Structure 1
């Protein structure tokens, strides 16, 4: 068994299973990139678009497109920067913060229930794997788009 191949094959179905729980609760079907931007803005407070792009490891043009769509949907607010009049500060709207909290609550409840239904030894293995998964994520983020660190 090749761990990378098997793990990669599980990631998409796991993500979709969590997303289904959100849809069943009647939450809007936001793309994961929008949720990630909202999460960064909720955690960091106001950010410039370039700072948001850096935190997401995304191209500035990608963040610009996300912001345009999300501003039109009332999820992101743009305010002129107090220090640089050529840029803006981005914040998650109050509506977006409520939605993000609901997404997290529903996703966490679904994951908790699924974890609670596992055999105790399987649950222990997942619990013990969490630090390694965080390390894997850090390694992937450090490697960047080309896959080399």
Structure 2
């Protein structure tokens, strides 16, 4: 249900997974879309993001590049922001806010270790998706971040 929207007719499930990446430019904020992200490799997604960011900064995006998103990711880590709550990009039902990477001391097997960490905050349209579904999504994202080899399975 994360890839859905609320319409006057009710909940509309989206067929495609098109990920918007919030991108800061001189004029404000743009959200170029990576289409059919679920059908792309990580390398293809990375190159699409780089291309979209460059075209956004150079004013080369088209209206089509900004339409059709089904979920947005917003990262303010480069601005030294640890935590923030992102506002949903209508008509999407969810947005993921990513904070900067920090180091944290943890105790593991009797040893103190410094490990990287960052915050993920998910904002949901509760007319479309409930908190439990959002929590399961975050659990999956956390598992993939902690063990990226799972992405290859």
Q: Tell me if TM exceeds 0.5.
A: no
For the pair shown, the structure with the greater C-alpha radius of gyration is: 1
TM-score (norm 1): 0.29
Q: Give the alignment's TM-score, normalised by structure 2.
A: 0.29
Q: Flag the structure with higher helix content.
A: 1
